[in-house]
């Protein structure tokens, strides 16, 4: 079973996103918990300074950046639109 931890940065960003996006994000998290590579998530590894991280889609605009700490432990680091890749 996956254990997901949320960074303080993720928690701050999550509080700022629109309520409708929060609802979709929670639905996507359930899919993620069942299979982090489910095609509906469009999970992909990042490159450059974020090469140790992955991201999955909430919708066409919003993403969650995460890291596999172990096979069963995941850290959600950031949530937001594409500008989160630049932070």
Global pTM reads 0.91
pLDDT, tens only, 60-72 = 999 999 999 998 9
C-alpha separations of 80 from 12, 28, 39, 77 in Å: 11, 14, 20, 11
- Tell me the CATH number at 38: 3.30.2310.20
pLDDT number for residue 86 = 63
pLDDT number for residue 82 = 74
Q: Are 29 and 20 in contact (CB under 8 A)?
A: no
Residues of the chain with pLDDT under 70: 85-87
Q: How many distinct structural domains can be found in the chain?
A: 1
Which residue range forms the structural domain that includes residue 24? 3-86
């Amino acid at each position: 079973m996956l254990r997901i931890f949320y960074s303080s940065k993720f928690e701050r960003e999550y509080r700022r996103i629109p309520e409708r996006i929060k609802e979709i994000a929670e639905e996507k998290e359930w899919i993620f918990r069942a299979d982090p590579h489910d095609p509906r998530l469009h999970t992909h590894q990042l490159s450059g300074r974020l090469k140790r991280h992955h991201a999955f889609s909430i919708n066409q605009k919003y993403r969650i950046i995460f890291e596999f700490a172990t096979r069963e432990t995941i850290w959600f680091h950031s949530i937001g639109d594409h500008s989160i890749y630049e932070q």
